[in-house]
Chain A
Amino acid sequence: MSLRDNPLGELKVPLTWTAGIVFLVVLIAAVAILLSDRRESFETDAYGRTRTMSDKALEPVGDALSAPGRWTGAGVDAVRGYFFAVSENRRLKAELKEMRQWRDVAIALKDDNERYRAILGLQTDPPIPMVAARIVTDSRGPFANTRLANAGREKGVKVGHPVMSENGLVGRVIGVTDGASRVLTLTDVASRTPVMIDRTNARAILTGDGGPNPRLEYLRGQEPVRDGDRVLTSGDGGMFPRGLPVGRAVKGLDGRWRVVLASDRAPVDYVRILLFEDFTVLANRAELDQPSSPPPPTPGGPALLPPPPTAAAPAAGSATPPASRAATPPAARPAPATPAPATPAPKTAAPTPKANGGAAAQTSSAVRSPATTPAPKTAAPKTSGTATPPAVTPAPKTPAPKTPAPKTPAPKTPAPQTSAPPPSGARP
């Protein structure tokens, strides 16, 4: 059909004006969509059906397209392994020799650690189940740094779960669908991660800016960080478990402290999604509310404490802080109002495994390392020869003293507090 045969061929439309109007309409619609977007929200619904569907569609496409790259990499590794087998064997033997020494040190430290936990009645984090996933797409621009992983809702992945490579923390899940999860990396401009400096315990917020090295912001104290300091997740806020390796601190060219991410040491092709729930979900409130029996005697405990008096246990027991049940320092807990010694027994040092996980779930060894357990630095009370100083001990006439515990220096070992009243000198 020629142009003249077309019935609309003679129709004169002011094309420039029409195109301009269409352009304005599309622009307004795009602005409205941009303003209504809530990408980094923790609400699952906020991620949106469009994103969910697109992630679901992109996952097999990215997986298929990246397969040749994976095969090529595996082939190169195989060839390299064949030709460099002797030198690698030599290197591995030397490394094994060194690791054996470290194993002995680790066994001794583990033993010490378990004893300290038993003495302090410290409850450690339970083991965290995790699922393995492969990264199928990766955006690296300055305005969005996300990755798409090929494990989703069917494996128990939820929004907010931390994601790690074999070297360190990668980010957290911001969207999940069947078979795919969207991971917001630490370098994204919207990423904020509570971290701590391992050496000084100083807290900071790791803030992404689209570059390879996110900034350390809100650092406090005098010289809280030095070049090369190890940076770990602090666990503050309950979003991440404490102690996940993040990277090392470096001074940036702009004079600000930045972090060289540990996960950048190698390509992030396989990741572990930790099925970590917020600590408020981890805690069994019903169990915590139940009164429990006094803790068992700790090894070496009686030698460190004054001899227990024979009477007036209720009044004195209420004046002392209860034994620590978690990483919270005992001095930070108020004294119980009941005259009976309501000090809960410390949990066993062995953590209770989490119920969920599924068949694909494994146990994270990274979070069970000594670096990941709650640090006893903050939880350990100061040494005190007596249970309670006389100045703050309430009168024995009142069975339920109202003096809060934080004002009293707490004894080093909380276990005997349930039956150990203040010394007789404290009484009028």
Chain B
Amino acid sequence: MNGGARTLEPWRWLGVPMLQVMGATLLFALPLRVWGLALPEPIFALPVAFAWAVIRPSVLAPFGVALMGFFLDLLWGGPLGLWAVCLLIAYGVALGGRAMLAGQSRGMMWAWYGVLTALSMSAAYLFTMLDAKGMASPLSVFWQFLATVILYPFADRLIERFEDADVRFR
């Protein structure tokens, strides 16, 4: 079978990364301490949502993004729908600015990813403030932002691998 001429199956670029995100999130949610320090809690779903929007528009991708968000809420015990909405906001903005993002350098894409991560976490901050009637610690939000921003290489790898993988979109 000629790999270059075949179509890209959704499970390859949507299903497998989604399962990887769920597995990584679950591993980082274990009650482990390394040298007395708790593990960080990055949002593994954000680089995947960003990459999906950059790779191509898809009917299935929003459902995948929402599914990952609901999984995060159920695993972390937060308000149900919080991360589904916040991830969808990042995905939607990246999808809308897809034409602008195309062809940018790696550093520039990383910067855009950082902007969208900040947007998503700002939305989470706002929704949490309205829901719990209390403000989250900005320092804790910053640490989670930092732990998420450094995950861009995973998004970059996903984009490089699947952006040009489907003959129908060449």
Contact = CB atoms under 8 A, between A and B. Distances in A.
Given A40-B132, A135-B31, A23 B92 contact: yes
A26 B77 contact: no
Nearest to B85: A30
A151 to B, nearest CB: 15
A13 to B, nearest CB: 9
Contact of A15 (B33, B57, B136): B57
Contact of B62 (A19, A50, A143): A19
Contacts of B160: none
Overall SS of chain B's interface: helix
B127 to A, nearest CB: 7
A285 B42 CA distance: 51
B135 A209 contact: yes
A137 B136 contact: no
Interface string A231-244: 00000000000000
B102 interface: no
B132 A190 contact: yes
Contact of B85 (A16, A31, A51, A144): A31
Nearest to A192: B134
A182 interface: yes
Contacts of B80: 33-34, 37, 39, 48, 50-51
Interface in B44-82: 56-59, 61-63, 65-66, 69-70, 73-82
Interface stretch (B105-113, B137-145, B151-159): B137-145
Contacts of B69: 30
Given A142-B137, A143-B124, A143-B136, A27 B77 contact: no
A267 B31 contact: yes
A317 interface: no
Query: Which size class do B's interface residues fall under?
Result: 35 or more
A30 B68 CA distance: 12
B134 A19 contact: no
Interface string A20-36: 10110111011111110
A109 interface: no
B98 to A, nearest CB: 9
B140 A211 contact: yes
Given A15-B57, A58-B75, A139-B29, A30 B92 contact: no
Contact of B29 (A16, A62, A182): A62
Contacts of B7: 3
A210 B141 contact: yes
Interface string B79-103: 1111011001101100100000000
A136 interface: yes
Interface in A187-213: 188-190, 207-211
B30 A66 contact: yes
Interface string B156-170: 000000000001100
A54 interface: yes
Contact of A34 (B29, B41, B127, B168): B127
A255 interface: no
B115 interface: no
B37 to A, nearest CB: 10
A138 interface: yes
B132 A268 contact: no
Given A30-B88, A34-B127, A143 B137 contact: no
Contact of B84 (A23, A34, A55): A34
B19 interface: no
B136 A33 contact: no
Nearest to A207: B134
B16 interface: no
25 contacts: A15-B59, A18-B59, A19-B61, A27-B89, A30-B69, A30-B81, A31-B81, A37-B79, A37-B81, A51-B80, A55-B74, A58-B74, A58-B75, A61-B26, A65-B30, A66-B32, A137-B31, A141-B41, A144-B73, A144-B77, A144-B82, A146-B78, A148-B77, A210-B140, A267-B33
Given A142-B143, A211-B139, A267-B31, 6 more contacts: A30-B85, A31-B85, A137-B75, A141-B41, A146-B76, A209-B137
In the complex, the 3 A-B pairs of residues with the closest C-beta atoms, listed nearest first? A34-B81, A146-B77, A144-B78
